[in-house]
Amino acid sequence: MAESSADPEAPEFDRAIGGFMTFARIEAGLAAATLEAYARDLQEMLVFLLPLGVREPKDVTVDHLAAHMRHLSRERGLDARSIVRHLATMRVFFRWLHANFKLEKDPARLLERPTTWKKLPGTLTPGQMKKLVETPCADHGALWLRDRAMLELMYAAGLRASEVGTLKVNDFNETLGIVNVIGKGNKQRIVPIGQPAIDAVKRYMAELRPHLTRFNDGRDGYRLLLSHTGRPLERVAVWQLVRKYALASGIRGVHPHLLRHSFATHLVAGGADLRVIQELLGHSDIGTTQIYTHVDRSHLRDTIAAFHPREAAGKKRGAA
Q: What is the DSSP letter of 117?
A: P
Q: Determine whether 292 is an active site residue.
A: yes
Q: Which residues contact 255 (CB under 8 A, 6 or more apart)?
A: 239, 242, 243
CA distance 44 to 69: 11
Q: How confident is the model at residue 3 (pLDDT cuts 50, 70, 90)?
A: very low
Question: What pLDDT score was predicted for residue 216?
Answer: 87
Residue tagged active-site, from 168, 184, 189, 255: 184
Question: What pLDDT score was predicted for residue 145?
Answer: 98
Amino acid at position 93, single letter? F
Q: Does 169 share its domain with 31?
A: no
Question: What pLDDT score was predicted for residue 286?
Answer: 84
Q: Does 177 share its domain with 264?
A: yes
Which CATH number characterizes residue 34's domain?
1.10.150.130
Q: How far is CA 206 from CA 149, 216, 229, in A?
A: 12, 18, 18
Q: Determine whether 257 is an active site residue.
A: yes
pTM: 0.62
Asked whether residue 313 carries a pLDDT value surpassing 90, the answer given is no
Q: Determine whether 283 is an active site residue.
A: yes
* Domain termination site, one of 99, 115, 142: 99
Q: Determine whether 86 is an active site residue.
A: no
Q: Does 64 share its domain with 147?
A: no
- List b or e across 119-150, with b for residues whose CB sees 16 or more CB atoms inside 10 angstroms: eebebbeeebbebbbebbeeeeeebbbbbbbb
The mean per-residue pLDDT over the stretch 242-265 comes to: 93
Residue tagged active-site, from 155, 204, 245, 292: 292
Residue tagged active-site, from 148, 235, 260, 261: 260
Contact at 8 Å (CB) between 208 and 144? no
Q: Does 219 share its domain with 295?
A: yes
Q: Does 86 share its domain with 40?
A: yes
Q: Determine whether 95 is an active site residue.
A: no
**Domain interval for residue 177:** 126-299
**Total of domains in the chain:** 2
Question: What pLDDT score was predicted for residue 315?
Answer: 56
The mean per-residue pLDDT over the stretch 293-304 comes to: 56
Beta-bridged to residue 226, according to DSSP, are 232
Q: Does 37 share its domain with 151?
A: no
CA distance 144 to 240: 14
CA distance 85 to 191: 29
Q: Does 31 share its domain with 143?
A: no
Q: Does 89 share its domain with 162?
A: no
- Using alpha carbons, select from 72, 79, 71, 69 the residue that is nearest to residue 117: 79
Q: How far is CA 78 from the centre of its chain?
A: 19
pLDDT tens per residue across span 168-193: 999 999 999 999 999 988 899 999 99
Let me know if residue 181 belongs to a domain: yes
pLDDT tens per residue across span 22-67: 999 998 888 888 999 999 999 999 999 999 999 999 999 999 999 9
Question: What pLDDT score was predicted for residue 22?
Answer: 94
Residue tagged active-site, from 209, 235, 261, 283: 283
Which CATH number characterizes residue 187's domain?
1.10.443.10
Contact at 8 Å (CB) between 245 and 141? no
Q: Determine whether 148 is an active site residue.
A: no
Let me know if residue 314 belongs to a domain: no
Let me know if residue 121 belongs to a domain: no
Residue tagged active-site, from 160, 209, 261, 266: 160
